Every structure is written in structure tokens, then in C-alpha cells.
Chain A
């Protein structure tokens, strides 16, 4: 019992925000798992990162306008997906180049909005919560948003599961099988945008890619089957979020005293630890020593 008390500080299980955070974090990590594995397989983790920066713009704008950040996350992710899709369709060029172009614009705008928010409100609190998030601060008013983003993301990935998998193995094989790669790619981009907005809500815009791509990258070495790799990614993501919440709750009694450490720090640190462990394990079993996955 004393060990339980040492790990879970008093009040952990009866604390409302903590319970909400546990459920919310698990849902978000579960949505991010299949989307993240596909992002890694399709070589689109950079696009995921771009969405993270774009959602930080949206979140900052929402704060400046005094509306809920999740609105900003969702709207900016949707706009980002649409513009990437538009640019990509027109120039048929290097996807990374397109993504980079969108990214540059978003970051510049983000800097302006954050500057305006800070000068107007005289505090950087909202800025920190947009960029680095706090799952404890997510209010129950956000549940409809979580459903509105998470369910379509899962539905899109489930609907296009096989074409997505085949085109990540080889776009040419997929084309030869009659896969409409543009449609399937657009469906995936929408799922990716929704997942990043969700992750931004949980651990902040800047760190959202870590929750999306980190567990996925760690999971690749753990199973040779696509579905199981997604299940592993989900397990690693949920474990990281839950353990991060426990540690963050505990950290209220840690040094700088009274305020607690940011939960996002713990979550990301745990994800990275899982990734390192999985890499080390894969290396010991003689598998590819340096995956290009991350």
C-alpha cells in the first residue's frame, strides 16, 4: 500500500481534472497510434510536424480572439491540410518542399499572433498552454471536439486502411492495383490534420508530433505486422500519457514547489524513452540499427 501511495500521490484517484485527463489522454493516444504508424510508413512524419506548427498558429489566434484554443487548432489544421493538398495537386513536386512552404508562412504568422497576445494580455500563460499544453487544463467542454476530431480520423484511416498500406509499401504497386492514390492521400491528410489538432489539445501544439510519431516509431521494431504495430503504438502512447499524468501529479511536491512540472514534459520524455528502448532492442536482435523512421 505504501508503494501505491508513493507512486500515486494522495487524491490522485478522486481528482476530477486528473480523471478527465486520464480518459482524454488515452483517447487521443489511441487515435494517434494508427495515424502515426501510417505517417511513419508513408514518410509523412514531416507533414505531421508541419501540422503541429500550423496548429500553434491557430491556437495563438484563438487565444488572441478569446475563443477556445481547440477551435483554433481544428480550423488551422483543416486550412493547412487544404492548402497542402492544393499546392501538392498543382505542382506534383516534392511533398516536403510543399510542406516546407506552408510551414514557413505558418510560423511567421504564429510569431506575430503570440507577440500580440502577450502584449495585449501582459501574460505569457496562455501562450505556454497553447504551445506546450496541459492536459489537466482541458475542460469537459472540449469533449464534443475530441469526438468530432477523433471519430472522423479513425473512420478515414479504417476506410482507407488497405489502400494506404499498399501505397506506403509502393505507390506503383498501389497504382497497378487500381488504388486512387490522390483520393486516398487526401483522406489520410485529413486524418493526420485531425489527429495533430487532438494531440495539440493534449500536450500542446509544438509537442504534438512527439505523441503522433514517437510511439509509432518505437512500435515499428516491435511487430512485423501492420495491425500489431498500431496496437503497440497505442499501448506505448497510452502508457506514456498515463504515466506522464501520474508523474506530473506527483511533481506538485517536487522542488520548485507548489506548481508542479509540465505534464507534457513527462509524456514526451516517456515516449522518447520507449523509442530508445525499442531501438536498442532492435539493434540487439540484429535488425536495422538506424531506422530512418524518426
Chain B
């Protein structure tokens, strides 16, 4: 992974500086200071619903990938979509976007405007040629008007909006860089700005932490938390590890075997709930402020490369387990 071309300011997500002992919420607050006015107190029950998923079922290639998934998301909430590889996270996000057809149940997104207007999306992998003659600001601009016909007319208002969006994700200094030459963390910020450019009420992110080091992952989580709280946007992000989201999640959607357990972290990430979801005994351990989900039967297999030394705070389960419903 290439180093970022420009030296990054304090809010950067570029490298894992080992000296950082802070809680991790400090600097990203600064990074997002341009986002909007003050935070609102958390009152989950009274906020309007942005996303409702009711008994969702998705069949792909003759296989039931998701069945009976139900949850909802309110304005300003952050939800984690947790599940191991192949659990159906991407499928669920694409179904919410309307890109994958739903075979049963319902997905409704608030707002009379079209689905693609109300929902912003940051896909997991965006592979870009380093030569692509598109700057970060062009990509964010395309988030505003990329679906429109005709040639773009230069507009001071659009330019200002673009710069505000980039500033909001702490990426204004990258505005004129070619998108193909950004580092993983930088590109992700620009993609978040792109997704926010359509003024969505719901922001979906597919494995936004997958290719980031710990420090950048923490910055990203804090940034998304800020966006949710300050702009009232509902954020749904998938991850195979629940730990980075523990402090910010209002809601967990835990996928296994094509089904989902949903609710608050404490209600879902529990031995009894996950055991019934997986269909066999699952241990949920708490250690050093982290959660260890031990799925058991698969975790002793030869996936040694996924294991982390216990002292570092281990996640067994997510990355190790291979969805009970798979083959």
C-alpha cells in the first residue's frame, strides 16, 4: 500500500503512530468540526425511522442467502452489521440500496425521493487506476450530480459544497489529488464525502475498517459517529469484528446462517442469543474492554493466520467462522 503523497495534518488516518495513548475520540472530533452544528442528546426512541427492514429474504443463485431479517434504524443512529465472511453483509446492504432484488419481505427507506437519493453507499472495494484523470473533488462532485444528464456547468455553489464535504471528512487537503493515488484511508474519506454529497438520510458502508490499521480504523469509526450525531444521518456499516464499534453502536445486526439477531449490543452480543442464532453453543467473553465471540466448532481449524495473540485482545469467531448455512 503506497504512502500518502502529501504530509497529513493532525487529523490524518495515514499511519499507525504507536505513541497514541488517547481514547481515540479526540482528534476525529476535530476532523469533523466542519460537519455541522452541535450534537443532540441521544433519544433513540423519539427519532423518526429512516430504514425499516421487515422479514427480508434474499435468494441468490438458487440459494437462500438471507431469511427473515428484520430491524430498523432511526435518524442519527449508528448500527453495526456484524457477520463472518459470506454471512450476507454485502447482500443485505445491496438489498437496502435496491441493487439486489428482494425475494420476500420489505425494505423501506424514509423520504419520498428515490432510493438512490436517500441512501449513500461506500462499497468495500473501489479499485482505481493511478492514471485516472479524476481528482478527489471531481469524485465528490459526481456524488452530487453524477446521475444527471448533460455536461456539468461550472458553479461556485457546487464547488463550495464540494469543499465543505471534503472538509467535513478531514480531506480538504486532498481535493486536487488524483483519486487513484490516494492511500486506502484517504480514499475512504473521499468516498464518504462522495456518498454524503447526495444529502442522504442513510449511509451504508461495506467493511469500511477491513483494510485499515488500528489507528485509521479508530479515526474512521469516530468520523462516522460524528456524521451520525451531528447531521442526523443513520449509519449502517458492516464489519466482521464487533470490537471497533463497541463504543458507538446504537444497534447491532448480527448475521449468521442467513438469519439475523438484532437489538442493542448488550441484547445481542450474548452467549444465549448468539448460540441460538448459530444453532450451537457460542461463548461471549469480555476481556480488557473487548468482546471475544468464540464460535467454537470451526475456530480450532487451520485458520491460524486469522488468530491474534491473546494478549492483544482476540477476536475469535467473526473472521474464523464460515457461516453455518454455507454449503
| Contacts from A to B (Cβ < 8 Å) | 37, 41, 158-163, 165-166, 168-170, 172-179, 219-221, 223-226, 228-229, 287-288, 291-293
**Which residues on B sit within 8 Å (CB–CB) of A163?**
146-149
Q: Does B114 contact A (CB under 8 A)?
A: yes
Q: Which residues of the other chain, B, contact A162 by a CB distance below 8 angstroms? A: 142, 145-152
| Residues in chain A near residue B45, CB distance under 8 A | none
Q: Which residue of A lies closest to B180 (CB)?
A: A288
- Judged by a CB distance under 8 angstroms, whether B198 is at the interface is yes
The residues in B between 120 and 162 inclusive whose CB is less than 8 angstroms from any CB of A are 120-121, 123, 126, 128-135, 138-139, 142-143, 145-152
B131: which A residues are within 8 A, CB to CB?
220-221, 287-288, 291-293
**How near does chain A come to B208, taking the closest CB pair, in angstroms?**
14
Q: Which residues of B contact A179 (CB under 8 A)?
A: 146-147
A-B contact pairs, 21 of them (CB 8 A): A159-B150, A161-B150, A161-B151, A161-B152, A162-B148, A165-B134, A165-B138, A169-B134, A173-B121, A176-B119, A176-B121, A176-B123, A177-B146, A220-B133, A223-B133, A224-B134, A225-B138, A226-B133, A287-B131, A291-B129, A293-B131
Instruction: Name which residue of chain A comes closest to B128, CB basis.
Output: A169
Number of interface residues of B (CB under 8 A): 40
- Interface residues of A, dominant DSSP: helix
| Chain A residues closer than 8 Å to B99, beta-carbon distance | 175-176
How far, in angstroms, from A160 to B132 measured CA to CA in the complex? 18
The 6 closest A-B pairs by CB, nearest first: A178-B116, A166-B146, A176-B121, A229-B133, A288-B130, A177-B147
- Given A220-B131, A287-B181, A293-B131, 16 more pairs with CB closer than 8 A: A37-B133, A166-B147, A169-B139, A169-B142, A173-B121, A173-B126, A173-B142, A179-B146, A219-B133, A221-B131, A224-B134, A224-B176, A224-B178, A225-B135, A287-B130, A287-B131
Chain A's closest residue to B137 (CB) is: A225
A224 touches B133 (CB 8 A): yes
Q: Which residues of A contact B150 (CB under 8 A)?
A: 158-159, 161-162
Chain B residues with CB under 8 Å of A177's CB are 116, 142-143, 146-147, 198
